[in-house]
Amino acid sequence: MKHHGRRAGLASVAAVILGAALGIAPAAAVPPGWTAPVRIFAGHAGPAHAMAVDVAGFVHIATEGSGSTSGIWYLTNSSGHWQTTRVTMADDHAPSIAVDDIGVHIAFTRHDAAAAGTWTATNGSGDWVVTERHPGADGAPSLDVHAGIEHVAVASAAHALLHLFGAWDSASWTTETVDSSCCGSRPSLRLTSGGAVRIAYADGTPAHPSALKLASRGGSWSSKTVDGHRSSSPSLVLDDADHPDIVYLRAGAGTWYANKTTGPWGLRQLSTTASGAPDIAAHSGSVAFIYGAHGKLTYATMSGGIIWTVAFSKSGHDSRPEIERMGGTPVVIYDRTGSAADGIEFSRQK
């Protein structure tokens, strides 16, 4: 799902990226007009990951390892081929990523008993700088960045939706409570072109998720109901006019899409069944989706109010899809599991 900056630009990453290029996996079936999938992170089934694309069209991915490879890993093709760097070596999970002219920004949750909480890692100074931002058994964070200020939405151990923010290179951040009863699943934070915060989230708790809401801050925080049905796993993007588009799961009713320009929210069902969080990307008036059910992925686009769908993969072993746009070109990552070649795969539209 989306956990990362959409508009932020990065012409190049100044830090030296360690690691060797990963090989190409055996091609899996993808729709005509897409590149054969490339295995960009191998040897671990089902890692959490997040993706962002910079203004030069390079892809940046944060993922988590396990066991002897535990910690947060950073992958990019900014050198012309895929390379990987190990950012942390702790019990770190659920990364969210954004890029801007300063560098790459990653937020994640740390499970180590002595240092549990929400942390960030940034390579704006050249080396990766890792900083604790909020202590406690927090949930999975969602990160975006604007003018060097990092913004993170996260559910605390007390089930409150928090907004953490501050300069990327500052040890002192501000914490605000957005909603005291949250969250049914990971929130999704985006910043408008002017830096205003928007957060999509499922009210309630993981055991009892409730309505889908969108929070914004004027003088104070306010939340509006998007869908009153029990919902989870929202992914939020803002279009060129800063209008919100959200893809999410409705309990027992598959994958849904909500959008709003003026007037009430428009709600559409994309699929009747779902397993795992969906994702969404927007560019120049068109929206693209990726979502899954029973190990199979579906790609969909909407333009002019019409939604078109196509089977993206039929292996029965694919999950956790994410989508971004390189200019207008969709790029997708997803997990391939259930075989000796577990890992993250990458494909883009030609």
pTM of the model: 0.91
DSSP-derived secondary structure letter, 34: B
Flag the least confident range among 66-75, 160-169, 339-348: 339-348
Which two three-digit tokens encode residue 264?
Answer: 């009430």
The rounded distance, in Å, linking the Cα atoms of 235 and 20 is: 32
**First-residue to last-residue Cα distance in the chain:** 23
CB 164 within 8 A of CB 134: yes
CB 237 within 8 A of CB 219: no
Task: Specify which residues 329 forms β-bridges with.
Answer: 326
Is residue 8 situated within a structural domain? no
Amino acid at 230: R
pLDDT at 4: 52
Pairing assessment for the beta strands 221-227 and 231-238 based on DSSP bridges: unpaired
**pLDDT for residue 242 is more than 60:** yes
The rounded distance, in Å, linking the Cα atoms of 350 and 347 is: 9
More confident of the two residues 58 and 11? 58
The three-point CA angle 94-298-349 to 5° equals 85
pLDDT at 285: 83
Query: Around 140, how many Cα atoms within 13 Å sit in the side-chain half-sphere?
Result: 24
Which two three-digit tokens encode residue 8?
Answer: 């932020």
The three-point CA angle 250-336-269 to 5° equals 20
Which two three-digit tokens encode residue 184?
Answer: 């049914």
What's the structural domain count of the chain?
1
Percent of the chain with pLDDT over 90: 70
Is residue 24 situated within a structural domain? no
Average pLDDT, the chain: 88
The DSSP code sequence of 316-348 is: S-EEEEEEEEETTEEEEEEEE-SSTT-EEEEEE
Is residue 7 situated within a structural domain? no
The rounded distance, in Å, linking the Cα atoms of 235 and 36 is: 26
| Tens-digit pLDDT profile for residues 190-235 | 999 999 999 999 987 767 778 999 999 878 999 999 999 999 999 9
Is residue 320 situated within a structural domain? yes
Maximum Cα–Cα distance for the chain, whole Å? 54
The residue segments making up the domain with residue 220 are 38-348
pLDDT at 27: 42
Is residue 97 situated within a structural domain? yes
Q: How many residues does the chain have?
A: 350
Is residue 229 situated within a structural domain? yes
Is residue 76 situated within a structural domain? yes
pLDDT at 43: 67
pLDDT at 10: 35
| CB count in 10 Å sphere of residue 155 | 26
pLDDT band of residue 2 (cuts 50, 70, 90) is low
The CATH code of the domain that includes 136 is 2.120.10.10
Is residue 302 situated within a structural domain? yes
pLDDT band of residue 126 (cuts 50, 70, 90) is very high
Going by C-alpha positions, the residue among 9, 105, 110 that lies closest to residue 54 is 9
pLDDT at 42: 83
